[in-house]
Homo-oligomer: A and B are copies of this chain.
Amino acid sequence: MSNIRKVAKLSGVSISTVSRYINKTANVKESTKIKIEKVIYDLNYVPNALARSIFSKTTFQIGLIIPTLSNPFFSEISFAIENFASIKGYSVILNIVNDDKEKEKKIIKTLIESRVDGIIVARTKHKELYENLDIPIVALENKINDKIPLLYADNWNGGRLALEHLVTCGCEKILMFVGDNKHLPIRLRKNGFMDLARESNISIATRQLFDEDENKSITELKFLFSDAELYDGIFVYNDIMAVNLIRYLSAKNLFNEIGKKINIIGFDNAIISRHMNPTITTISQNFDVLGKKSISLLINLINGECVQPISIIKTTLIKRETTKN
Contact = CB atoms under 8 A, between A and B. Distances in A.
A278 B93 CA distance: 37
16 contacts: A46-B113, A48-B115, A51-B54, A54-B54, A69-B78, A70-B79, A75-B75, A78-B94, A83-B98, A86-B95, A91-B111, A92-B93, A93-B93, A243-B275, A244-B275, A250-B255
A94 B93 contact: yes
A275 B93 contact: no
Interface string A31-75: 000000000000000111111011000010100100011101001
Contacts of A79: 68-70, 96
A276 interface: yes
Nearest to A103: B86
Interface of A: 46-51, 53-54, 59, 61, 64, 68-70, 72, 75-76, 78-79, 82-83, 86, 91-96, 98, 103, 106-107, 110-115, 240, 243-244, 246-247, 250, 255-256, 271-272, 275-279
A47 B115 CA distance: 10
B275 A240 contact: yes
Contacts of A86: 95-96, 103, 106-107
B82 A94 contact: yes
Contact of A50 (B50, B93, B95): B50
Contacts of A96: 79, 82-83, 86
A30 to B, nearest CB: 22
A313 to B, nearest CB: 19
Contact of A247 (B78, B246, B277): B277
